[in-house]
Chains A and B, each alone.
Chain A
């Protein structure tokens, strides 16, 4: 889990995935050949015994976060969100800004000075600001530049019964799973990418696939688990602890029926718990990858994750391990029987 901790605590808001890329490159350099492309995707290739099909595995490195858009005369920073963030989670949080990880806080008007009515309305991002303790604009400009990215400042830890919590588990969990798979040897060619800019419109993965030309692609995600109070059971997208989730359909993608069913077959054969992703909400790199060139057979497998796109998300270690196992057996099955 040390690698997952490093990945979770690294800053990698869409468009600035450097820290995550460097961690992965360093961790995996002896297991595969790496290169980066024009967008910053980290592409890898592991020829193994050169057998077909050529299988791609992919996970996105970027996370939702913030960008500093102006520095006010009084030294406070205004910001906008990068990727889908519910404004309501921003209040009363700590962030780190830019490559030097300048600490800042997002405060709010104290309760003592509010009308009770005010508390019924959510605070909008345009009313929020980051405080780094600067005296004024000039003082702030010594530490922070317009365009700097900011991300949540959350410690990765193991809590509860086999649960990890930390920021950006969507999709550092996917990066972790792909990294662990890259450490294994197969007979087939393995290629793939740690992609950029998924959170702002699936921007990186298509470019990566265009270069990699795989026969089949497996996308690994951290998808939302909604097995929580206030949600009806039919709205439970995924459930924590019930194993990896296989996507049938989301806003970007519909899985080929045969390919999807085969994942469940492989899971059953190898006694790995596995669940269908229930809703058709959200979108992943799978949508982009599927429609590159003349089309790539694609499957999306996710680790159920509660509270994604917030400062602190949660996932079950068993689900993570089972996701690694399931994809491992899926690769072996492709190796044996083709796609």
Chain B
């Protein structure tokens, strides 16, 4: 499958954090195409396993499939719906968005506010707060009560679009693009004889506290854990040195969350195979599944690779699909190059 097709397929899964088991069927079907075995753990993580030729070490590649969203908190008497956030949302992106409410059926709605005609001039310089906003479904109160309940989850409607030069825009690319990178890696890996076992994991509940990675890593207990997530792309609003350029390759992280030998190995493979890459120094918290993976059981040597992504947590997240393919290739080459000796060496800090 072509990368944009894989992405679009994964994006059909509307999975706000905590509601992955209900909506992740498409991801599971895709995983079955690339792995020997696929299982779902108790939190809803989708785990694929593919065996290599020899060796008993395990490499885990994880990317979270959950996305930011909202939850119904109140249905007002006229049928307007109030909501709370699931994950980090800038209130300023909400006005005029189309959403899907996952009730007994999926109900489309629009986020509205009172019309600008009726607002005081000074109101317009202030951001609308969540309290000023509501969802309008065009349904009567009686009808809504039949279909929607407080506690139902809400996602942003999406229609992925292709921009110039392999740029691609949609909501929820954080981190469904990472899930796509896992599949790219598995496709690339078909070209190689590799050792050990590869586990691909589409994790749950990353956006609310890196939770799915905790149980999936515990279950697999890998010798190496690699998290794939997104990193802030270059935009006019942010200093160039704090962002990654789109289309210029994966951002390889280093810092306390990252095993130094894994960082060095990934970098040297990128150099050897002329894969463009960028360096992502993280002095402490990485805010990714890597943070959970590293301290599971007796500890897991961990790496983090990021896809440059503009406008993170908006409905127009934008990336370059070449970067996803490059990550797939980089990780496949990494897996093909390691052996038991390398894996054992990760515990030697002399």
* A282: nearest chain-B partner, CB-CB: B117
Give complex CA distance A132, B310 in Å: 12
- Complex contact A113–B242 (CB within 8 A): yes
B235 in contact with A312 (CB, 8 Å): no
Q: Does B169 contact A (CB under 8 A)?
A: yes
Chain B interface, number of residues (Cβ within 8 angstroms): 61
Q: Is A47 an interface residue (CB 8 A)?
A: no
Main SS class of interface, B: loop
Number of A interface residues in the complex (CB < 8 A): 71
CB–CB A159/B138 < 8 A: yes
Name the one of B78, B118, B287, B310 contacting A226, with C-beta atoms under 8 angstroms: B118
Q: Tell whether B120 is near chain A: CB-to-CB under 8 Å.
A: no
Inter-subunit contact A161/B138 (CB<8 Å): yes
Q: A129-B236, A131-B163, A224-B117 are in contact. Are A230 and B96 (CB under 8 A)?
A: no
Stretch in A21-29, A89-97, A179-187, A294-302 with 4+ CB within 8 Å of B: A89-97
Contact B108 A159 (CB under 8 A): yes
- Which chain A residues in 282-339 approach chain B with CB under 8 Å? 282, 306-312, 314, 316
Contact B238 A109 (CB under 8 A): yes
B314 at the interface (CB under 8 A from A): yes
Asked, given contacts A92-B311, A108-B90, whether A132 binds B112 with beta carbons under 8 Å apart, the answer is: no
Give the nearest-CB partner of A311 in chain B: B96
Q: Is A120 an interface residue (CB 8 A)?
A: yes
Is the beta-carbon distance between A228 and B80 smaller than 8 angstroms?
Answer: yes
A133 touches B110 (CB 8 A): no
In B87-139, the 8 Å CB interface with A consists of 88-93, 95-98, 108-110, 112-118, 124-128, 132, 134, 136-139
CB–CB B110/A107 < 8 A: no
A258 in contact (CB, < 8 A): no
**Closest chain B residue to A89, Cβ basis:** B96
Query: What 9 A-B pairs have minimum CB-CB distances, sorted nearest first?
Result: A160-B138, A133-B167, A133-B163, A163-B138, A107-B311, A105-B316, A92-B93, A110-B312, A133-B164
* B interface residue numbers (CB < 8 A to A): 76, 78, 80, 88-93, 95-98, 108-110, 112-118, 124-128, 132, 134, 136-140, 143, 159, 161-167, 169, 232, 235-238, 242, 287, 310-316, 318, 320
Q: Residues of A with Cβ closer than 8 Å to B?
A: 72, 74, 76, 84, 86-89, 91-94, 102-114, 119-123, 127, 129, 131-135, 139-140, 143, 153-155, 157, 159-163, 165, 224, 226-231, 235, 237, 279, 281-282, 306-312, 314, 316
- 23 residue pairs bridging A and B, Cβ less than 8 Å apart: A86-B116, A88-B124, A94-B161, A111-B313, A112-B88, A119-B127, A120-B127, A121-B126, A131-B235, A131-B310, A132-B167, A157-B108, A159-B108, A159-B138, A160-B139, A161-B139, A161-B143, A165-B138, A228-B80, A228-B113, A228-B114, A310-B95, A312-B96
